[in-house]
């Protein structure tokens, strides 16, 4: 049974915009078209769509997904190559999680400083000076922390 993007979206929960993005970037195999030129999906294409979406949910870049898609089409891709690709991406995600954790800490600190200044009745100019000093200290500490982690 052939299904439209809208039908596949409703069936899978994958947004139609994501399906179009995957198709536009060549992440899905060349698909069939209906009499109006619209993309339609058979069961095999839906299975491949799930695999692409799986990788996007893991935040894999398009180029890595394309490489996996080529491997699924029988163009190489040993288990070792796949593991290496997963390991590389895993490390990138871990680094980004560390960076996002730092970003949350900075935002928590900044929000707390603003709230405390409001509660203490600090004037805007005094706060600007104190806040700049605190921000510089935070940047220096974060940069030192990141250098020590490398």
What is the structure's pLDDT at 78? 82
How far apart CA 31 and CA 77 sit, in angstroms, is 23
59-73 average pLDDT score: 85
CB atoms within 10 A of CB 60: 21
Pull the structure tokens for residue 108.
């928590």
Q: Are residues 67 and 109 in the same domain?
A: no
- Domain total in the chain: 2
How far apart CA 31 and CA 22 sit, in angstroms, is 12
* pLDDT at residue 144 greater than cutoff 90: no
Which positions ≥6 away from 22 have C-beta within 8 Å? 28, 49, 52, 53, 56
Q: Residue 32: which pLDDT band, with cuts at 50, 70 and 90?
A: confident
Q: Are residues 28 and 60 in the same domain?
A: yes
What is the structure's pLDDT at 73? 67
Q: Last residue of a domain, which of 72, 89, 108?
A: 72
What pTM value is reported for the model?
0.72
Q: Residue 121: which pLDDT band, with cuts at 50, 70 and 90?
A: very high
- Determine the structural domain holding residue 101 and report its residue range: 79-149
Q: Are residues 114 and 55 in the same domain?
A: no
Q: Are residues 86 and 43 in the same domain?
A: no
């Amino acid at each position: 049974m052939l299904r439209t993007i809208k039908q596949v979206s409703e069936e899978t929960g994958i947004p139609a915009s994501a399906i179009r993005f995957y198709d536009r970037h060549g992440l899905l195999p060349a698909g069939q078209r209906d009499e109006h030129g619209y993309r339609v999906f058979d069961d095999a294409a839906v299975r491949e769509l799930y695999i692409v979406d799986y990788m996007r949910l893991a935040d894999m870049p398009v180029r890595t997904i394309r490489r996996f898609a080529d491997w699924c089409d029988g163009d190489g891709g040993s288990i070792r190559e796949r593991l290496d690709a997963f390991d590389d991406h895993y490390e990138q995600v871990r680094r980004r999680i560390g960076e996002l954790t730092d970003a949350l800490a900075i935002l928590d600190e900044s929000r707390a400083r603003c709230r405390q200044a409001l509660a203490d009745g600090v004037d805007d100019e005094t706060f600007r000076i104190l806040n700049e000093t605190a921000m510089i200290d935070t940047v220096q500490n974060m940069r030192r922390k990141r250098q020590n982690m490398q």
